[in-house]
Amino acid sequence: MKKAMNSALLVSLSMVAGLAMAQSATDDIAKYREMIADGNPSELYEAAGEDIWSKPMGPKNVSLEKCDLGKGPGVVKGASAQLPRYFKDTNKVQDLESRIITCMEKLQGYDAKEIINAGFEKGKRKDVEAVVAYVVTASKGMKINVPVKHPKEKEMYAMGEKAFFFQGGPMDFSCASCHSEDGKRIRLQDLPNITDQKGAALGFGYWPAYRVSSGNFWTMQRRLNDCYRQQRFPEPIYTSDVTIALSVYMGAKAKDGVINTPGLKR
């Protein structure tokens, strides 16, 4: 009896020690984020993006200053807070990255397929990523207002919701496996509950972000790409409908949350 009590006591003490260590590590990460928050390296990408936005480039030697991101030609402020959204000229729901590519193709004469196939941080895709940093910074502090009014926006929301809960791959995972309950985490990384407005705002409102662990700027498309990788799914096609649909679902769930992009992530 006494031996059993001692064993139980040891288990209890081990659990308490483990919880204390986890809490200490979590506190340390919070302090680390606080220390580096004033010098977000995304500012370097933002500056590069602003230059690319206003500089004549491409086969047509034209700038992106007439690019319509949903609020009129050349208007950057507040644009990303309302993306993805339906665009009449393409008859599609587009996110920020797919819309920038449309502008690069139509205004500047670039080949959209080359940009899509380039890979992250390669070719003209690198320019897209820099422009993203510039555009999202202009919505910092604004409320998230992704529209779901047009029939195609409603269609994409439904697709995004289905994709979010779809289980598959060798691990039988879905987005919801990690992001549909409160209080979940992987190691010391908190996982926001995207099905809840508060959690969706924490997820959607802080991406794109500078990723400290990889030392570079990640767009939302790259974040979603990595989520699929972690689920052991095949890599999604850049700016494909399913990735845009997931952004519509998350953005709509996050309505009235605050845009805090570019974020700063571990």
Residues 250 and 158 in one domain: yes
Q: Compute CA distances 199 → 95, 136, 182, 196, 246, whole Å.
A: 20, 20, 8, 5, 15
Q: Which of 178, 211, 209 is nearest to 195 (CA)?
A: 178
pLDDT at residue 112, rounded to an integer:
97
Structurally, the chain folds into a number of domains equal to 3
DSSP letter, residue 80: G
Does residue 145 belong to any structural domain of this protein?
no
Q: Which of 128, 108, 114, 124 is nearest to 59 (CA)?
A: 108
Q: For this structure, is 67 an active site residue? A: no
Residues 162 and 173 in one domain: yes
**236, 224 contact by CB (below 8 A):** yes
Residues 247 and 156 in one domain: yes
Confidence of residue 171 (pLDDT cuts 50, 70, 90): confident
Q: Compute CA distances 252 → 14, 112, 247, whole Å.
A: 43, 27, 8
Residues 65 and 131 in one domain: yes
pLDDT at residue 169, rounded to an integer:
84
User: For residue 234, is pLDDT > 50?
Assistant: yes
Residue finishing a domain among 137, 170, 198: 137
Half-sphere exposure of 57 (CA within 13 A, CB side): 17
Q: Which domain holds residue 90?
A: 41-137
Digit-coded pLDDT (tens) for 114-140 = 999 999 999 999 999 999 999 999 999
Residues 21 and 68 in one domain: no
Does residue 63 belong to any structural domain of this protein?
yes
Residues 249 and 162 in one domain: yes
Which of 67, 103, 175, 227 does the annotation list as catalytic? 227
Q: How do the residues of the chain divide into helix, strand and coil, expressed in percent and rounded to 5?
A: 50, 10, 40
Digit-coded pLDDT (tens) for 188-229 = 678 899 999 999 999 999 999 999 988 899 999 999 999 999
Q: In the chain, where do the E strands start and end?
A: 85-87, 92-94, 184-186, 189-191, 209-211, 216-218, 263-265
SS3 99: helix
Residue finishing a domain among 77, 112, 137: 137
Confidence of residue 22 (pLDDT cuts 50, 70, 90): very low
Mean pLDDT of the chain: 89
- CATH number where 70 lies: 1.10.760.10
More reliable by pLDDT, 250 or 27:
250
Q: Compute CA distances 230 → 225, 227, 234, whole Å.
A: 9, 5, 10
Does residue 169 belong to any structural domain of this protein?
yes
More reliable by pLDDT, 207 or 35:
207
- CA dist., res. 27 & res. 97, Å (int): 35
